[in-house]
Amino acid sequence: MPMHNGFLPREGFKGDTVLKIIRNTALNPKLVFPLLLLAKYTKMGQDWAILHPLAYSRLKKLLVFGLIRWINNYFSRKVLNNWVDDKYDWSRELVVVTGGAGGIGGQIVQLLAERGIKVVVLDIQPLTYPAAPNIHYFKCDLTSPKNLSPVAHTIRHTIGNPTILINNAGVVQGRTILDASEHDIRFTFDVNTLAHYWTTKEFLPHMAQSNHGMVVTVASVAAWVTVPNMVDYAASKAAARAFHEGLTAELQTRYAAPRVRTVLVNQGYTTTPLFEGYYNDSPFLMPALEPATVAEAVVRQVLKGESGQLILPGFGNTLPVLGGMPHWYQIRLRAKNQAIMKAFKGRKVVEDVERFYEERERGEPEPGEGMEEGAEAGASTVLVEK
């Protein structure tokens, strides 16, 4: 599964392509600075600057903007990584991917495995692709710390201590606040938010102790934009974003582990079965993403061994400012986007969440039941891929 390296993304000519052209030309100091030198120190350039003073002035402004952008990116990258470097030996690292049986998670697993990296998959579903020898699959209910604990114990003692955790699993119900049952809402938060806490509590202690590792939080652009029929989903993703921000601060100030990296992923609508029926009202600026596009962005960031934030597509970078916009604009935008989920019929791995919680309340499987590699899942086991 080779990485896509074409000029145009898989999604075709979209807003991101325009942004890419601007970044690589008008806001690229490596290109603009030589042009200014030519305009200042060559006869032809001096003549051009005299004949076109406005263009010459704008060229100088572009250089300033480009340098400011470069300096900003440099300091952001350094601060995100606590001004310390780290080395990754990919022959020895172990990656855990939740929801890695298919979809975005499955693509991430395969891309990593093809590079010889050992990967552990936690998911309710069987793998939808051939498992290489370095892919280890476990069925597990991530919503239950009691269920997760024996799985984590098995991983640590039979495969090794994970050094990279990718919290990718997610669910969406697509119901309004009044239509969603108590268990619908609990299930959304259990998978999309609370599971991040349980997996991190299992695998972060070794990372912090060795001052080496990475936690990737797959959130969503919905963490910034809430629309009808997605209130619980957006709230759970906003909570996941806050989890990432707090974890980043605690690694530096509480655990003395500045080399443990954190990555936040805010991806837009992605064409997985989870979001079937989703209506995309802005196909140029916010196009539907292919699962491989998101997976490759995550894998590239992981292979860098650096903290960071991935916002896909690029126009999503404008969404965090929505909360600071006038209320007349915010409310109008949310009302306008009410059509997004009207025809939603996304896949649900667990059709009856009421029964799921009833069975859990009656009693969970014994620790380790249904947790061996390739074994059948326990009755309460549930996990879906993003």
144 and 282 assigned to the same domain: yes
Does 112 fall in a domain?
yes
Does 268 fall in a domain?
yes
61 and 113 assigned to the same domain: no
Q: Give every CB contact of residue 191 below 8 A, 6+ residues apart in sequence.
A: 142, 143, 169, 170, 171, 382, 383, 384
205 and 114 assigned to the same domain: yes
Residue 364, pLDDT score:
56
101 and 56 assigned to the same domain: no
Domain with 24 in it: 15-80
Convert the pLDDT of each residue in 166-203 to its tens digit: 999 999 999 999 999 999 999 999 999 999 999 999 99
Q: What average pLDDT values come out for the chain (386 residues) when binned by 10 residues?
A: 86 95 96 96 96 97 97 97 97 97 95 98 90 96 93 98 97 95 96 98 98 98 95 98 98 97 97 91 94 98 98 95 93 91 85 87 53 35 39
59 and 163 assigned to the same domain: no
330 with 227: CB under 8 angstroms?
Answer: no
Does 155 fall in a domain?
yes
Convert the pLDDT of each residue in 242-299 to its tens digit: 999 999 999 999 999 999 999 999 999 999 988 999 999 899 999 999 999 999 999 9
In CATH, what number is assigned to the domain containing residue 301? 3.40.50.720
28 and 146 assigned to the same domain: no
27 and 108 assigned to the same domain: no
35 and 114 assigned to the same domain: no
Is the pTM value of this prediction over 0.95? Answer: no
Which residues are marked as active site?
233
Structural domain count, the chain: 2
Does 239 fall in a domain?
yes
74 and 165 assigned to the same domain: no
38 and 76 assigned to the same domain: yes
